[in-house]
Amino acid sequence: MLMRSMMNNSGLTIVALQHQLAARYEPKHPARLRAASISRRLSGLELHISRPFIEAVIEICSPEQDRKRELDRARQLLQRATANPTPVQIASQPPQPTAGDLRQVLRLQEQLLLAKDDLAAAVAARHAAELEVARLTALVGARPGTDPEHNEPESTALPQSGTKPPITSARQGDAKEPEQPESQRDSHSVPERSPVRVDDAAAQVAKELAPHVQRIGPLLRNAFDYIIDGRHTGRLDLQQLTRTEKIYLVERSVFAVREGLDLAPGRRLDAQVAGHDVKICFTTGTNWLVPREATGAVLLLVSASEAAGTYRVGILQATDDALSAGQNLDGKRAINVLGRGRIRWLLRDDSLPENVFATMPPSDLNTLLSVPSGVKRVCELFRRVQQRPIGTAALQTASMQFDAAKRVRDARGLLRAEGITVLNHLNAALLHALDLPVLQKGQYLSVRLYGMSTPNHDRPSVFIDGTWWTVAKADEPVQPLDVRVHRWPFDSDAGSDTP
């Protein structure tokens, strides 16, 4: 820092010093020093190879009477630094986050987002209340026959003799209201319509879409699986997508929602609902980006978190005060705090069909991926993920093959020796009897069963071929399945539901 202070005291800039060094320093060193290199050396870096540079800077920046003293001082400092170099501390590499840590972070982000939404709603409600108070105050102050300053009633005494009564217009429209003080006009002025009131168009769109928004979750799951394409790429979740694929994910999700809900194309925007143009906005993050052409229109807001397994659907009128002042390079604006408080939620944190690979413990996932055979990987998936729906896309990803139904049939035969059966949507009666989740078409569920000679009324069970079968507990022994449980009650050979 000695040389930098000398340069500052001399009144020179780095560019000016660079020009003077060209005459004194560079004849011996033809490689021209750039301003950035000069700045680093003035800060004390790379000085062990720059002794001529130090001498040239001192000659340029120091007065002639002090030059010899500064040169001796610089040589002493350089010798001392060379003899006792300062050790460089190399920071240890921080530990890499685990999948469990990432899921915890995502859950905390979801909780933070909910808290932000609650805060935004509270801010919007407070703003609405302040506007209503201002409006009522203005009405009271502007009421005919009152003094805005003191609010005292007008005198009702009859006019004295010899004076004429005031002349009033016979038409009410000609009467001039008392003028308010300028200070009150500024503080009490309110718009004709409160900005927090949901527009009629948004209310009509919300009413039209409310009965159908439950279908959006499976539509998003199909869109995600289409982009991940695990059967061909081996990818397991959205985190493995490239930047370009993540951009296309937004377009694919918007397309899936519009086509899945059978919405008509809009005149200018994505869709038309209840006679209004609607812009469908999708995000996997915490906010949406609204393009210029959607300002003032109704927004169908959809967000989803694969790690948390939830999605949300809301309606918002994209008024100018509901959007941020800034915009990105594409001219898109985010929804601000006031706008988030106005969102009319149709679904909030509803269950998104699960991606089992995104929620599977890392140890189980590593074990699954280490299995060489496609059918054996499917068997391992059914062992590791039980009593939870598994979609066709997950089975195709695990097997790296197209025919998921064939892989399920093969796995069902191999897992019978371990007491595990695999069910699908056709086993609705058995799923209901064993109190297991309801399956949609294209979903499968594995469960280990335990046979009892007598029924246990505390545990759901079915009677098949002389045995009461129920969902096995972790501490109960494995019992091979010698009956085709998955065929109950369709196959008479599998038994009946009565003893």
Cβ atoms of 294 and 304 within 8 Å: the answer is no
The string of pLDDT tens digits covering residues 408-446 is 999 998 999 999 999 999 889 899 989 999 998 889 999
pLDDT tens-digit series, residues 366-403: 999 888 888 999 999 999 999 999 999 999 999 888 88
Give the list of residues 6+ apart from residue 378 with CB closer than 8 angstroms, or none. Answer: 395, 398, 399, 407, 408, 410, 411
Bridge partners (DSSP) of residue 451 are 469
> In which element (H, E) is residue 332 found?
none
Q: Which residues contact 183 (CB under 8 A, 6 or more apart)?
A: none
Contact 60, 17 (CB under 8 A): yes
**Comparing C-alpha atoms, which of 319, 291, 281, 322 is closest to residue 201?**
319
Other Cβ atoms less than 10 A from the Cβ of 322: the count is: 25
DSSP letter for each residue of 418-486: GTEEEEEGGGHHHHHHTT-----TTEEEEEEEEEESS--TTS-EEEETTEEEEEPPTTSPP----S-GG
Q: Is 79 a residue whose pLDDT tops 90?
A: no
Place of tokens 């397991």: 236
Q: Are 374 and 396 in contact (CB under 8 A)?
A: no
Q: What is the pLDDT of residue 249?
A: 93
**Residues 399/401/406/410 CA torsion (nearest 10 deg):** -30
First to last CA, the chain: 94
- Place 108 in a pLDDT band, splitting at 50, 70 and 90: confident
Q: What average pLDDT is seen over the chain?
A: 77
- Residue 219 CB neighbour total at 10 angstroms: 20
| pLDDT surpasses 60 at 28 | no
Confidence of residue 499 (pLDDT cuts 50, 70, 90): very low
pLDDT at position 36, please? 63
- At 331-379, the pLDDT tens digits run 899 999 999 999 999 999 899 998 999 888 889 999 998 888 889 999 9
